[in-house]
Structures are given as structure tokens and as C-alpha cells.
Chains A and B, each alone.
Chain A
Amino acid sequence: MLIQIENATKTYFSGANEFTALKGINFQLQQGEMIAIVGASGSGKSTLMNLIGFLDRVTTGKYLFSGKDVSRLSDEELASIRNQMIGFVFQSFFLLPRLSALQNVMLPLFYRGDPLPLAKEKAQHMLKKVAMEQFMQHRPNQLSGGQQQRVAIARALVGEPEVILADEPTGSLDSKTGQEIMSFLIELNRNEKRTIIIVTHDLNISEMCQRKIILRDGNIVTE
């Protein structure tokens, strides 16, 4: 079992108010699965994604990753495991505007401490894989939305993470480009047995995944 979440809750405190975004979630994921997490806004799907992606910690409950309890890690440990295990793909691409495509893809390796020539080589290889090798020196604002998302996928893949975590990956793209990006993710899952989690509210997208879980008001309603 790659990911095992047991009875997880997440409560946010702001002053005297508290808000429980996740109310006791149980969720499991095998290596090589492609899964959609679906829900309206406020359903808790973003919170779940943040927990899975090590951007946040559970308030109560347990999170086991590859069998290891990772529910109570320090900030430094979270940063390190996020760097090693998770590749993020975001709705608005989130490339650094002042860096070239190549430099953007090198970023996770840089924070991992890889030597620069090795990082460069890996990043070039990954950009080739997403068919962006002619655009390596381009800045994000010189690229189309679809191209930017390809660079972002290359950045997510370059560190060989266990999980690709995609938050509305087609949300900012037209339907044709969105379809291309989805096909690419599906291929990655089929051909390379990559574990992919897609967070979306788009039912068409979730239909393309092998499995989906639907969240409502902080609970999983169907699996």
C-alpha cells in the first residue's frame, strides 16, 4: 500500500472560530493507480490534496506513506519528503516567471542538492519527453498554456517521485489542450505505472481515471 490514511481529520483554527475541513477520512491508494478526487469547492478536496502532498499535517488520525507513519513530521522533514516523493502539477502551472523552462524543471533537483550538470541533464531529458526540447530557454510568458503545463509536468516528473499530484491540471486550458494533457497523464500511468492523483470538479476528467472518490462536506461519500 503506497498511501494509507486512517480516520484523518483536519481542523483549522482562526481566533475563536474553528472549522473542520476533513471529518474522519479513510483512504487507500496502491502504487500505479490513477485516481480522481472529486468534489465541489469547500468539500475538503484541496485539504486532502495538501495532506497527501505533505503541504500540511492531519489534526488527528494517521497518514502512512509506504507503510511509514508520516503524520507528525517536522517542517524540514515534510519539505524533504515532498521533494523526494511528490510531483505537483497545478491548475495555473505555477512556473517561476524569471526562470527559463529548463531552470524551472531543474528546481526540484536543485533543492535536492543534485550537482548542476546532472540536474541539467535530467531536466533536458524530461523536457524532451514532454516534447518541449525546442523551448528549453524560453521563459514561461513566451509559452502557451498547454506548453507551460507540459513544462510543469516535466518539473513534477524530473525527481522520479512516487506520486504525481495534479490539482485541476486542465482547469486553465481549452478543451482540446486539456485533452492532450490528460492523454499524456494517462499514458504515463499506463506505460510507466506512475501513480497519479487528479483533484478536479470536472466529471469528464474523473471519468478518465480508473477510480474516483467523491468528497462532500469533509466526508468521502462514494468510492
Chain B
Amino acid sequence: MKLVTHIGEGLNNLLTSKLRSILALLGILVGTASVVAMVSGGELATNEALKQFKTLGTDLLAVSISDASDENHSEAQQSFSYDRAVRIISSDKAIQEVAPYTQLYNNIQFEGHLINGSVLGVSNSFANVVHVELDKGRFISQFDGYGLFCVVGQHIYQEIKKYSFRDPIGAQIQIGGNIFTIVGVAKSWPENSFVYANVDYSILIPIMTSMALSKFVMINNIIMRLAPDSDIDQVKNHATNYLNNNLGSKSLYFRSAKELIARMSKQSEILTIFLGLIGGISLLVGGIGVMNIMLVSIIERRREIGIRMAVGAKRSDIRSLFLVEAVMLALVGGTLGVIIGVFIAFIIALFSHWEFQWLFLPPFIGFTVSAATGIFFGFYPAYKAAQLDPIEALRSE
């Protein structure tokens, strides 16, 4: 009951000196906002990364193959046959499945209408490795060989539907100079960082066909699915050896889940350190502000303290009265800080193209940190108030 009354009186007192209270809690506000933004930002970034890997699994390794330098360009293109590309699986036991793919940039036409999209040459393993699920029909099969069959991405399918109400399976679509028959429609596909294309906006054709269409089409990406908990660095070494032996000097660029997570967390780490620094300094300054205002308030209210003691307040009563007031000052700052911090996190998410979520932890941390600051910096003034001599306190003006 005493606590409730102390809270009421504390609020009352803060409201009677509004401007001063606002100035005192400004530091706490900025500090808490930074902390909340920091924790929210970090968590949103992690969630974003996890969201990708939840669908993909963390056991993927992708390698991009490009010419070591532009000078080699005129030389005869030393290219990979599909068979040799697939045989990379034998370079390390940890590699369980491989999906090489090619990229083409031919025009796509459907019933005379130009459709925006890219063309990927894939094998049947592609669906497994990067999780392409089918809406209708079937996926590219190893028996398609050099056949003119294709699977269209969900967005392409939506485009096609604008021009034809017919079942897309069996319909024909023109890629470059060739007519392909649609054998499947892929479901909407969550984009991921291992594939340099969005399946939704792509038409998938058999990889052999793609390589036969033009001599410039090469296998320049291979995605590998590894056994769980395999040594990624060792796989990389073995794969590099294999590729160098088969392709000569090419530059290889590997991407693994580990590296992608590391890159993302490094991004958010800079943010974390920056905001953490601001938060820490602001909370320190804010805490000192609270302490200062409480010390001033105690000097002004010496007589009040004396009166309370005269009617029987114990030292502990006086201490909790002022401690509650300091904590409330900090908590008001903390509440505003949490609101602003969540807003900052929202802005960060907006600009980083992350999905914004309401998180429980950051506001909780914000409140805890601001209350702790209030208790820590309010304790000394409250202690000082409690140690006043009642006679002197009563005598003071």
C-alpha cells in the first residue's frame, strides 16, 4: 500500500515540475531508444537470415565460376560438360547432391506477347536442392535430355494467364527461336541468396538443352547439398581442386550458409556497436541527469522530509519515496524510449528490406535497463535524503 501511495506522490511531484522532469529524462529516453533499436535490429536481422535458411537448410554450398581475367575472354571458351560438372560430387564424400545451372537471356514470347523473365538451364536435382515445389505438372526430368520442355515460375504463370485461360500444361512458349512445351508450373518460391535468379520470374529448361542452344551458355553456378555438420572448408578445398583441374584458371567464388550468416551479422554488428555505444553513453548521462535532479529535489524538499519524519516516517520510508520517484522518472523516459526505439527499428527494417515484427524482448530489455538506471542513480540521492537529520530538515527554509 505504501508503494502505491509513493508512486502516486512521485507522479504528482514529477508533474509539478514538468520541464525539469522532461529534461532529466531526455538522456534516459535516448539511451533506451538506442538499446531497443539495437536489440530489435539485431533480432530482426537474425530472423531475416534464419527465415532464408529455414527453408533452405544450412547445409548448402554454392560456387560461381567466372573467368579469371578479361584477357582470357578471346581465347577458346573452356567449358564444362554437364557430366563433368555433376562429377564434382565425387570430389568430397560430404557432397550429397549437386545442382549445376546455366543462365540464358533470350526473349520469351507467349502467344505473340513479350514476357519479362530469365531462363535457367537446370537438372532434375535443382528442385530438391533449392526447394522448388510444383503447383501443376512435373519438374524437369533427367529423361528430358535435349528436349524442348520447360517449367514456368509462378509469376510467369500469372503473366501467361492474362493471355490465355487454357490449362498451361501443354501450352507452348517461345524462348529465343525455339518453341518449348510447358510441362509444369512452380509454386511461389522464397527467394534465397544461393541462386542468382528468382525462380518465380524464370522459365526452367533442361540444362542440356540450354547448353545446346548457344555455345556461350556455360555452367557457371553449381549448388551443392552437403551432409549435415560437414567440414565446409575441406569441401571447398576439394571442390576447388576438382574445378581447377577441369577448367584451368577460373576464379571461384563460394557461398555457404555460414558465410551468408556471417556477412549479415557483420552488417548488424556494426549497427549494434554503434547503437550500443550511443545507448550506453546516453544512459550514463541520463542516469547522472536523474541523480542531479533528485539531489536538487531533495535540497528543495528538506522541510517536507523533516515533516514526514516528525509524523513518524522511518528512514526506509523516505528512501523508498525518493527511490520510487527516481525510478518513475527513468521509467517515463524508458517508455518513451521504447516507443521511439521500436520506431527506429521499424525504419531500419524498412530500409534494409527486412520483415518488421513486433518483438517482446527489446521493449522488455528497454524497460529493465531504464528501471535499473533509475534504481542505480536514484539510490544515492534517496540514501542522502533518508540520512537527513529531522531537526535540521525541519528548520531549513
Contact count band on A: 20 to 34
A84, A98, A115: which contacts B1 (Cβ < 8 A)? A115
Taking CB as reference atom, which chain A residue is nearest B317? A111
Q: Is A39 an interface residue (CB 8 A)?
A: no
A94, A99, A112, A116: which contacts B310 (Cβ < 8 A)? A94
Name the interface residues of A136-177: CB closer than 8 Å to any CB of B.
Answer: 155, 159
Taking CB as reference atom, which chain A residue is nearest B387? A75
Q: Are B315 and A79 in contact (CB under 8 A)?
A: yes
Taking CB as reference atom, which chain A residue is nearest B311? A108
Which residues from chain B contact A124 at a C-beta distance below 8 Å? none
Q: Is A131 an interface residue (CB 8 A)?
A: no
Q: Are A108 and B312 in contact (CB under 8 A)?
A: yes
Q: Are B314 and A79 in contact (CB under 8 A)?
A: yes
A76, A88, A94, A116: which contacts B314 (Cβ < 8 A)? A76
Q: Is B90 an interface residue (CB 8 A)?
A: no
Which residues from chain A contact B306 at a C-beta distance below 8 Å? 94
Q: Are B1 and A111 in contact (CB under 8 A)?
A: no
| Shortest CB distance A133–B (Å) | 21
Q: Are B390 and A55 in contact (CB under 8 A)?
A: yes
Taking CB as reference atom, which chain B residue is nearest A112? B312
Which residues from chain B contact A84 at a C-beta distance below 8 Å? 312
Taking CB as reference atom, which chain A residue is nearest B386? A75
Taking A50-B391, A111-B317 as contacts, is the C-beta distance between A94 and B307 under 8 angstroms?
yes
Name the interface residues of B181-211: CB closer than 8 Å to any CB of A.
Answer: none
Proximity bits, A23-51, B CB within 8 Å = 1, else 0 = 00000000000000000000000000010
Q: Is B352 an interface residue (CB 8 A)?
A: no
Q: Is B142 an interface residue (CB 8 A)?
A: no
Q: Is B69 an interface residue (CB 8 A)?
A: no
A115 to B5, CA, bound (A): 12
Proximity bits, A75-110, B CB within 8 Å = 1, else 0 = 110011011100010100011101100000001101
Which residues from chain A contact B2 at a C-beta distance below 8 Å? 110, 113
Contact count band on B: 20 to 34
Which residues from chain A contact B310 at a C-beta distance below 8 Å? 53, 55, 82, 88, 90, 94
B13, B303, B307, B312: which contacts A82 (Cβ < 8 A)? B312
Name the interface residues of B299-314: CB closer than 8 Å to any CB of A.
Answer: 303-304, 306-314
Q: Is B169 an interface residue (CB 8 A)?
A: no
Which residues from chain A contact B5 at a C-beta distance below 8 Å? 110, 116
How many residue pairs link A and B with beta carbons under 8 A? The number is 65
Taking A50-B391, A94-B394 as contacts, is the C-beta distance between A111 and B314 under 8 angstroms?
yes
Q: Is B164 an interface residue (CB 8 A)?
A: no
Q: Is A6 an interface residue (CB 8 A)?
A: no
Which residues from chain B contact A50 at a C-beta distance below 8 Å? 391
A110 to B317, CA, bound (A): 10
A159 to B312, CA, bound (A): 10
| Shortest CB distance B312–A (Å) | 2
Taking A98-B13, A98-B16, A115-B1 as contacts, is the C-beta distance between A83 and B391 under 8 angstroms?
no
Q: Are B309 and A79 in contact (CB under 8 A)?
A: yes
Taking CB as reference atom, which chain A residue is nearest B307? A94
A107 to B5, CA, bound (A): 11
Q: Is A56 an interface residue (CB 8 A)?
A: yes
A95 to B308, CA, bound (A): 10
A55 to B314, CA, bound (A): 12
Taking A56-B391, A96-B307 as contacts, is the C-beta distance between A79 and B313 under 8 angstroms?
yes
Which residues from chain B contact A95 at a C-beta distance below 8 Å? 307
Proximity bits, B247-282, A CB within 8 Å = 1, else 0 = 000000000000000000000000000000000000
Taking CB as reference atom, which chain A residue is nearest B309? A79
Which residues from chain A contact B315 at a C-beta distance below 8 Å? 75-76, 79
Q: Is B12 an interface residue (CB 8 A)?
A: yes
Q: Are A94 and B303 in contact (CB under 8 A)?
A: yes
B9, B16, B303, B308: which contacts A111 (Cβ < 8 A)? B308
Q: Are A55 and B313 in contact (CB under 8 A)?
A: no
| Shortest CB distance A96–B (Å) | 6
| 5 nearest A-B residue pairs (beta carbon) | A83-B312, A79-B314, A108-B311, A111-B312, A94-B307
Residues on B facing A (Cβ under 8 Å): 1-2, 5, 9, 12-13, 16, 303-304, 306-317, 390-391, 394
Residues on A facing B (Cβ under 8 Å): 50, 53, 55-56, 75-76, 79-80, 82-84, 88, 90, 94-96, 98-99, 107-108, 110-113, 115-116, 155, 159
Would you list 14 pairs from A and B whose C-beta atoms are within 8 A, ordered by A residue? A55-B309, A79-B313, A80-B312, A80-B314, A88-B310, A88-B311, A94-B310, A98-B13, A107-B308, A108-B311, A111-B311, A111-B314, A116-B1, A155-B311
Q: A82-B310, A94-B310 are in contact. List 12 more A-B contacts (CB 8 A).
A: A76-B314, A79-B312, A80-B312, A82-B311, A83-B312, A90-B394, A98-B9, A110-B5, A111-B311, A111-B312, A111-B314, A113-B2
